[in-house]
């Protein structure tokens, strides 16, 4: 006799937060891969620094103010980011909208500052090994910054439409989580790019 086991799943929630969701685990895997990319880029930079008696090779160090300003904005952004996370977990639509708008503006400001960072590197990407690695490391982080800003802008628009469902609040918390990674990844890069050339 064949027996069919059936379970009523209508009581299982259609959304969750953090490790209860597939997208969160996907973000964790993505962060692990990207973190390895940052580690390899930093290792390449430090290798070039170690084997050259003069560093930077043929250029002055980057101007400090753009990277320092960006670092201050990154650190301050943690506050509205965590508040946005709290609002999203409470399914507070008004709060999540406010938080996403603020985080979108912060991300756009950081992209503008990043433009100044590139302009004040004081080297070209094709000048020498120093120029190449500095531009590569900054471009690598810019890719992550731009990706998160794009995701935040899309989520902001969605939260102002009929797509603002409970499941979408889970997406907001994943976006908050990824932003924390973008901030944490920047801190050692700031030291690497702006302070190591001054040692």
The average pLDDT across 4-26 equals 69
For the segment(s) 63-198, the CATH number from 1.20.120.80, 1.10.630.10, 3.40.50.720, 1.10.10.10 is: 1.20.120.80
Domain ranges of the chain: 63-198
Contacts with 125 (C-beta within 8 Å, 6 or more apart), sequence order: 131, 132, 134, 135, 136
Q: How far is CA 145 from the centre of its chain?
A: 5
Tens of pLDDT, residue by residue over 131-146, are 999 999 999 999 999 9
pLDDT in tens, 69-113: 999 999 999 999 999 999 999 999 999 999 999 999 999 999 999
Confidence of residue 16 (pLDDT cuts 50, 70, 90): low
What distance lies between CA 5 and its chain's CA centroid?
Answer: 45
Asked if omega into 53 is within 30° of 0 (cis), the reply is: no
* pTM (two decimals): 0.87
Ordered DSSP codes for 131-178? HHHHHHHHHHHHHHHHHHHHHHHHHHHHHTSTT--HHHHHHHHHHHHH
Rounded CA-CA distance 1/85 in Å is 52
């Amino acid at each position: 006799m064949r027996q069919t086991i059936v379970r009523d799943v209508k009581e299982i929630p259609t959304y969750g937060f953090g490790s209860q969701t597939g997208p969160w685990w996907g973000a964790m895997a993505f962060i692990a891969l990207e973190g390895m990319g940052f580690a390899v880029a930093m290792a390449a930079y430090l290798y070039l620094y170690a084997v050259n008696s003069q560093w930077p090779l043929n250029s002055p160090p980057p101007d400090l103010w753009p990277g320092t300003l960006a670092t201050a904005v990154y650190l301050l952004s943690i506050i509205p980011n965590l508040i946005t996370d709290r609002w999203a977990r409470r399914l507070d639509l008004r709060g999540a909208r406010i938080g996403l708008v603020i985080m979108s503006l912060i991300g756009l400001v950081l992209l503008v500052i990043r433009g100044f960072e590139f302009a004040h590197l004081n080297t070209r990407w094709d000048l020498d090994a120093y120029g190449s690695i500095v531009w590569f490391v900054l471009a690598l982080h810019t890719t992550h910054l731009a990706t998160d800003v794009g995701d935040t802008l899309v989520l902001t628009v969605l939260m102002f439409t009929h797509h603002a469902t409970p499941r979408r609040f889970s997406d907001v918390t994943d976006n908050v989580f990824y932003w924390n990674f973008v901030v944490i990844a920047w801190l050692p890069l700031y030291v690497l790019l702006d302070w190591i050339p001054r040692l």
